[in-house]
Amino acid sequence: MFKKFDEKESVSGTQQLKSSVQKSIRNKLISEFPTLTNHLDKIIPKKDAFKIVKCHEHIELLVRSDGEILFFRQREGTWMPTLRLLHKYPFMLPWMQVDRGAIRFILSGANIMCPGLTSKGANMSPAADANCVVAVMAEGKQNALCVGITALSAKDIKKTNKGVGIENCHYLNDGLWYMKPVK
């Protein structure tokens, strides 16, 4: 999603949100990420006005008033946290762990294949259903290296052990990772 993302070319506009829209986004974030309920006031304070940055390919970025990019989504889909936010609150998403051999492929933007999630050194969260936003961790590493959406549930990944298991949406060192705060 952000492989060839360039801040100057990809951003098409910024929109300040009405308070009613902000409230609905906050409620949607709480419903999507129930573990953030106690922390959402730190992430997006109620009195703080945040904005949406519209980008090419129907991508929207949720930005706090200080310019920090917090969440993103594509085509009215689910909001997904940026890796910077995920590193601050690692408990907000179910996680899937890949083996060491998958790291270099993920960092080049490749999707995560089922064998990389079922091999020795890999581990899956049983709570992950199909079309669930997950944090992808790596064997022996402390922080997440990717945010993705599961193509299959954890049970189906173990059963089939073939094909794409997680679609890579945002990974370390992609265009969104290097994007400067939006003012």
What does the pLDDT look like over 5-20, one tens digit per residue?
766 777 888 898 888 9
What does the pLDDT look like over 27-80, one tens digit per residue?
999 999 998 889 988 998 888 888 999 988 889 999 998 889 999 998 888 999
**pLDDT for res 86:** 95
Residues 40, 182, 32: CA angle, nearest 5 degrees: 30
What is the spatial order of strands in the sheet that 59-63 belongs to?
11-16, 51-55, 59-63, 69-74, 80-81
Q: Which residues contact 149 (CB under 8 A, 6 or more apart)?
A: 78, 80, 131, 132, 133, 134, 166, 167, 169
- Residue 142 to residue 181: CA distance in whole angstroms: 25
- Residue 46 to residue 30: CA distance in whole angstroms: 13
In the three-class reduction of DSSP (H, G, I as helix; E, B as strand; rest coil), residue 138 is classed as: strand
**pLDDT for res 1:** 67
Q: Contact at 8 Å (CB) between 177 and 9?
A: no
Residue that has been written with the tokens 């944090």 in this structure: 135
- Residue 98 backbone dihedrals phi, psi, to 5 degrees: -100, 160
